[in-house]
């Protein structure tokens, strides 16, 4: 899985150090029977850390290395599972009740460690680039 994953988004709002983006649905959406249930045909709104000099209405390109996505997904799934297994094995000698307690404790520690890793930027973070600027006036602007 080499390369870079790209998506286009429109800047909806900028508040403090956060940028709200509107992601267009994938072009393949609308062809399957699950279309009324999944909600993927509507614009998705996401918030990201403000990374570019953009204004509401600008179109930006969001890029993420495929390897970072796979690494982040592996960390997100494997860290809690491995810590749960380690907690179970550490307390399994004390009986089923302690093994269950070890499993829940290990899972909790794994989730906390995952949150800390996300805050420190160890998980996949997309790069946002301003691609084009919309030249039409925004709503409320004088022509």
pLDDT of 1-48, one tens digit each?
458 888 888 888 888 778 888 887 766 666 666 666 665 566 788 887
The pLDDT of residue 28: 63
The pLDDT of residue 79: 93
Contact 11, 19 (CB under 8 A): yes
pLDDT in tens, 89-143: 999 999 999 999 999 999 999 999 998 888 877 666 677 766 654 444 444 444 4
The pLDDT of residue 101: 96
Within a 13 Å sphere around the CA of 82, how many CA atoms are in the beta-carbon half? 8
As a whole number, mean pLDDT of residues 58-66 equals 82
Within a 13 Å sphere around the CA of 121, how many CA atoms are in the beta-carbon half? 5
The pLDDT of residue 18: 81
As a whole number, mean pLDDT of residues 73-94 equals 93
pLDDT in tens, 49-59: 766 677 888 88
Domain ranges of the chain: 4-132
Q: Angle at the Cα of 16 (from 12 to 17), degrees rounded to 5?
A: 85
Answer with the residue of higher pLDDT: 62 or 25. Answer: 62
The pLDDT of residue 13: 86
Q: How far apart are CA 50 and CA 11, in angstroms?
A: 11
């Amino acid at each position: 899985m080499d390369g870079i994953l790209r998506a286009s988004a429109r800047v909806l709002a900028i508040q403090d150090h956060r940028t709200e983006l509107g992601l267009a649905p994938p072009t393949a959406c609308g062809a399957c029977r699950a279309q009324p249930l999944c909600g993927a045909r509507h614009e998705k709104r996401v918030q990201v850390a403000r990374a570019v000099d953009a204004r509401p209405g600008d179109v930006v390109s969001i890029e993420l290395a495929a390897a970072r996505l796979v690494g982040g997904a592996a960390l997100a799934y494997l860290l809690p599972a491995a810590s749960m297994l380690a907690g179970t094995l550490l307390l399994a000698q004390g009986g089923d009740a302690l093994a269950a307690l070890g499993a829940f404790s290990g899972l909790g520690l794994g989730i906390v460690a995952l949150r800390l890793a996300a805050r420190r930027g160890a998980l996949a973070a997309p790069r946002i680039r301003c691609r084009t600027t919309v030249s039409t006036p925004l709503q409320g602007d004088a022509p």
